Structure 1
Amino acid sequence: MMRRQARLRREYLYRKSIEERQRTIQENKAKVKNALDKSHILPSALRKDALLLAEKTDWDDEGGQGIVTHEDDEYRWAGVEDPNIVITTSRDPSAKLKQFAKELKLIFPNSHRINRGSYEMTTLLEWCRSKNVTDFVQVHEHRGQPDTLIISHLPYGPTAMFSLTNVIMRHDIPNMGTMSQQYPHLIFHNFKSRLGQRVVNILKHLFPVPKEDSKRVITFANQDDFISFRHHTYKKEDGKNVVLEEVGPRMEMKLYSIKLGTVENIDAADTEWQLKPFMNTSKKRRYLSDDPGFLTKNATEA
């Protein structure tokens, strides 16, 4: 089992290593095609290979999405198989963190909550892989308040880390509705950048495909890079009016890191994106709705 996991990991890293080279070729082909279509002068750096690139563009389909990325490899079974999620906490959780983990179990269909106990993270992740778990979710706290949500996609990543604020439990919401067990419809608002689409990709694959008659809705609304999480059910009255009932919990999430690895080797994994101190002072930049720099190297150069 360990040899197989090591071999699959090496194959995944190799496919990811050639991705940047393929992306550069794809971008050069697009530049040549655009110059030929508009009768513009070719960029000087591309004139040497322009004929070869122009021939290759004839085989590109209109509806294609370009090169196959490591994101396609990470979520290749999305929509084919329902996600299988394990939820746990940090060690020695408070009563409120345990309650929050239970409420997360109600949010994510096909999820299982386990007690952290004294288990090492490496042992937990090995067990999850042996049980075909697709996502590992962990919550942390500060002084009894949930403050961090970690979502690690198995078997190879990515791992997204969110800070949590204004967490309100279900039973603290006035006129709380009844929790539904239907697969929810998802609403993502104002995720326009490449980073925003990456976050959407990570979050949406935590949920199975819903049926059309499902009356359950989960909303992720981005405003100033804070993601508002809301959970509702709805019903029709008199055949016309739609009545929403909030069932909770309610919280605000802010992305601060995406790692290309799983949570047990998070320190050694490559950083895909990370929130830097100087980004907090850039009030006009909105990293989930605009696209000032998706990759870490771009954000570092900004």
Structure 2
Amino acid sequence: MAQKRQREEGKPADASAGERQPGSGSKATLGQQTSHIKNKLVRAELYAKLKHKQKKQKKVERKKRDAEAARAEELGLEPPPKKQQKTLENTREKDVTMVEEGDEEVALDEADDEFAAHFARQREPKVLVTTCFKPSKAMFTFLTEMLEVLPCAEYYKRQGFPLKKVVGFAAGRDYSDLLVFNEDRKEVNGLLHVHLPDGPTAHYRISSLVLGQDIKGHGRPSSHRPELVLNGFGTRLGRRVGRMLGSLFHQEPQFRGRRVATFHNQRDFIFFRHHRYIFEEKESKAEAAQPGRPKTAVVARMQELGPRFTLKLQSLQKGTFDSKCGEFEWVHKKEMDTSRRRFHL
């Protein structure tokens, strides 16, 4: 009877359940506060009451913050800090492999890894690009745009050779990297990146591919070397993948071409974008009203060149490609996806 009375009054059977999650210090959600009620109508009614109360409380707090900010502005003081919105990125689970800025151990390791010669500008990138067996027309269209993104890349037809022979061929001709693109049902869906001559080998899944010709207002890239931007690679694995992607581009970009290639990691999805800066002279309305002053101002904008796609790391293997006896540094497994706030890159 006591529990029934508590349910009718909108109180949880366990007094502590409405305040905190079991086994944690965070406040319970509305769903957790009402989940103990078995009667659906009573549960829905209580949920609506709590939701209304929560909205009123948020409105009062918002008005209070606005009043404090207005008062601070009147007095010429610094306004109170804004409340940071919670996202999956800023609430991600702690990762022991996160790299702090100025980490000497990581710097020493990277000074002696497989990409050290490239970043020390002792070895120029030379990339061999090939495909799966019997590529479609859609694949060749995509490769045409990728060869414009990578001025240091060359395409060779696969011609039925096994991948081990292709790796040996590329290593023997002093190529620094091998890119093998795969497709399924005339859709590009995979990338195998082999860093030569000693590896590592990364396998990615490709999704959300949009060719440059299908992007509204797209431009055509020049032959200049693009500038490279790597963003969001924070863990040891992420930095290793970022350095591997960075080894595809020259360390001395030609800024005159105003081209930028970006790999942006967010929630372990690596978004690739290819842009160009455009500087235009536009009329400035603020200065046009004043006589004797210039009526134009230089405005910068970005024009997407394409292609755009998303990479998802599937595995990172030590050494060059070996499907039978290869040793893996990291492999994506389904058990790793139990939490939405756990990221590896």
TM-score, length basis structure 1 = 0.70
CA displacement, residues 40-95 of structure 1 (integer Å, 9 cap, x when unaligned):
xxxxxxxxxxxxxxxxxxxxxx9954685488241232022220000000001111
Aligned equivalent of 2:316? 258
Are 1:227 and 2:270 matched, yes or no?
Answer: yes
Q: Which has the larger radius of gyration?
A: 2
The residue type equivalent to 2:181 in the other structure is V
Are 1:271 and 2:328 matched, yes or no?
Answer: yes
From 303, 306, 311, the counterpart of 1:245: 303
Quick check: 164-173 or 97-106, which moved more?
Answer: 97-106
Q: Per the alignment, in what secondary structure is the counterpart of residue 112 of structure 2?
A: helix
Q: Name the Cα RMSD after superposition.
A: 2.0
**Distance in structure 2 (CA, Å) of the matches to 1:107 and 1:175:** 18
Deviation at 1:120, TM superposition (A): 2.2
**Distance in structure 2 (CA, Å) of the matches to 1:280 and 1:63:** 29
Percent identity over paired residues = 31
CA displacement, residues 174-232 of structure 1 (integer Å, 9 cap, x when unaligned):
11101121111112222111111111111001000213444000111122111111100
**Distance in structure 2 (CA, Å) of the matches to 1:282 and 1:66:** 27
Structure 1 portions without partners, runs of 5+: 1-61, 289-302
**Distance verdict in 2 for CA 1:270–1:83, change over 3 Å:** same
Instruction: Give aligned pairs, total.
Output: 226
From 216, 230, 234, the counterpart of 1:174: 216
Are 1:75 and 2:110 matched, yes or no?
Answer: no
**Distance in structure 1 (CA, Å) of the matches to 2:202 and 2:261:** 19
**Distance in structure 1 (CA, Å) of the matches to 2:329 and 2:301:** 41
Deviation at 1:122, TM superposition (A): 2.5
**Distance in structure 2 (CA, Å) of the matches to 1:157 and 1:191:** 20
**Distance verdict in 2 for CA 1:230–1:129, change over 3 Å:** same
**Distance in structure 2 (CA, Å) of the matches to 1:159 and 1:66:** 21
Q: Per the alignment, in what secondary structure is the counterpart of residue 171 of structure 1?
A: helix
**Distance in structure 1 (CA, Å) of the matches to 2:188 and 2:311:** 11
Q: Is the 8 A contact 2:136 2:186 kept in 1?
A: yes
**Distance verdict in 2 for CA 1:212–1:171, change over 3 Å:** closer
Q: Per the alignment, in what secondary structure is the counterpart of residue 91 of structure 1?
A: coil
Deviation at 1:98, TM superposition (A): 2.0
Q: Is the 8 A contact 1:109 1:208 kept in 2?
A: no
From 80, 94, 100, the counterpart of 2:142: 100
From 157, 164, 167, the counterpart of 1:115: 157
Structure 2 portions without partners, runs of 5+: 1-101, 282-296
Q: Is the 8 A contact 1:74 1:157 kept in 2?
A: yes
**Distance in structure 2 (CA, Å) of the matches to 1:180 and 1:188:** 21
TM-score, length basis structure 2 = 0.62
Deviation at 1:284, TM superposition (A): 1.1
Alignment of 1:156-171 (within 5 A): 156-171=198-213
From 132, 135, 156, the counterpart of 2:177: 135
Q: Per the alignment, in what secondary structure is the counterpart of residue 148 of structure 1?
A: strand
**Distance in structure 2 (CA, Å) of the matches to 1:123 and 1:160:** 18
Quick check: 196-205 or 102-111, which moved more?
Answer: 102-111
